[in-house]
Amino acid sequence: MGKVIVITSGKGGVGKTTTVANIGTGLAMLGNKVVVADADIGLRNLDVVMGLENRIVYDIVDVVEKVCRLKQGLIRDKRYEGLYLLPAAQTKDKSAVNPEQMLELCNELKEEFDYVLIDSPAGIELGFQNAIAGADESIVVTTPEISAVRDADRVIGLLEAKGLNSPKLIINRIRPDMVKKGDMMNIEDMIDILAIDLLGVVPDDEAIVVATNRGEPVVVNESALAGKAYNNISRRIIGEEVELLNFKQEEGKFSKIMKILFSK
Amino acid sequence: MTQDLVVFKGTQDGVYIYIREGSFDSIKEELDIKLRKSGAFFKGGKIVDFKGKRLSSNELEELKDIVKDKHHLKIVERKKVKEKDFFTGIKEGMTKFVKTTLRSGQSIEYKGNVVIFGDVNPGSIVISGGNIVVLGSLRGVAHAGCSGNKNAIVAAFSLQPSQLRIADLIARRPDEDIEEPKWPEIARIEGNEVIIERYLPKK
């Protein structure tokens, strides 16, 4: 029996979809059977980020309404065996499914897969309720901005109210140089407010923009710092003890890069 | 008073039951109450189908049970009109003209041919029983001959769909980057494959 993990944030644009694509791929690279499901009906993106848009025939709404079988709705990833995508519908909206149906779907999925990752839409309305309905665990993504942290705090409260205790935190798009100058919130400040376990820190990395536009998760790129961060997160999820990409270590790497750049 | 969840509508074919969005339990309850109140009125009539809210097959069965077993009304299954709908007017026939660009999430579905004066963006879908002609760029999904006509074609000024379906064949855009077409192209079925060729033969 697998685990259903919902990835959510409250605020939009903090990197939920990117996180789902990368952790999903990362877990599959470690040999797990994984399905990533897009619960953002009407504004689907996960298929595009994973580069699988052109393969969509059926979607999550078709599966839930039993227009097709579950197997028909799942799209196999082009790079990793054992990784599947369940895309959202684009021409419908969040009310096309309800939480009971999502719960049933999640239960069916976790029979077959080791990990079921649900990409939640932004907001805390029906779409969010759908996304968390069948979840066993949750991951909250935030960026080092007061607004994102505020929304993350709200979402953590909602998750706990729904019985999803101890959500894990991913801090995305941190810029060590700015934190050092005191222009950006630092990790300790955020954990101080949110008071949940830190699952990982992902630096702001141009490689992510490049990878996303290419439809190829950055985690496959081992030389990218963000790729390494996602790899570490995936390993932590399967229970390995991996040291957090320590802030100072990152700083070291960044300053190295800076030195190379400016030594010319 | 809230809006009725269950409404009966008589048509030429028989009585349709319209279901509005709402919790399934209240729908069942309301259907039951309404049939009890006015069941005699429908006696002998034919219930043709349920319309409105999307129902899962289980939910549909439950509603049918209420109508059939509890109130002893006949449900006449609609004949599979889909097969009769096979669209033949590919050379000359019904055509819908759409004077707008289709954006992500928008869709056009029509029994006959479809002509679009605009682009078809990624994330949108055009489903047509006949041909699809796009006077613009086709970057979304196009399904021509959806009722089974394999002679249907898809043509566009710039033909670069994420997915192309003709009748029951599905072709998808290659994963590698491909060059943008510089001229209008037509997609059609040849043998058992979807092929794409230049609209104008070389001069």
Residues of B in contact with A70 (CB under 8 A): none
Per-residue model confidence as pLDDT tens for chain A (264 residues): 899 999 999 999 999 999 999 999 999 999 999 999 999 999 999 999 999 999 999 999 999 999 999 999 999 999 999 999 999 999 999 999 999 999 999 999 999 999 999 999 999 999 999 999 999 999 999 999 999 999 999 999 999 999 998 999 999 999 999 999 999 999 999 999 999 999 999 999 999 999 999 899 999 998 999 999 999 999 999 999 998 775 554 555 666 666 666 654
Could you tell me which of B70, B69, B26, B67 has the C-alpha nearest to residue B49? B67
Q: Min CA distance, A220 vs chain B (Å)? A: 17
Identify the band that residue B74 occupies on the pLDDT scale cut at 50, 70 and 90.
confident
Contact assignment for B21 to A44 by CB distance below 8 Å = no
Query: Using an 8 Å Cβ cutoff, are B158 and B137 in contact?
Result: yes
Distance in angstroms (rounded) separating the CA atoms of residues A137 and A135: 6
Global pTM value: 0.77
Residue entry with tokens 């050092």: A180
Residue A249: per-residue pLDDT: 47
Residues of A in contact with B159 (CB under 8 A): none
Q: Which of A48, A62, A90, A94 best tests the B interface by mutation, with the highest count of B CBs <10 A? A: A90
Number of domains in chain A: 1
Residues of A in contact with B125 (CB under 8 A): 90-91
Could you tell me which of A27, A19, A35 has the C-alpha nearest to residue A84? A35
In this complex, which of A51, A56, A91 lies closest to B175 when CB atoms are compared?
A: A51
Residues of A in contact with B104 (CB under 8 A): 90
Mean pLDDT rounded to a whole number for chain B:
86
CATH code: domain of residue A188: 3.40.50.300
> What is the domain extent for residue A165?
3-262
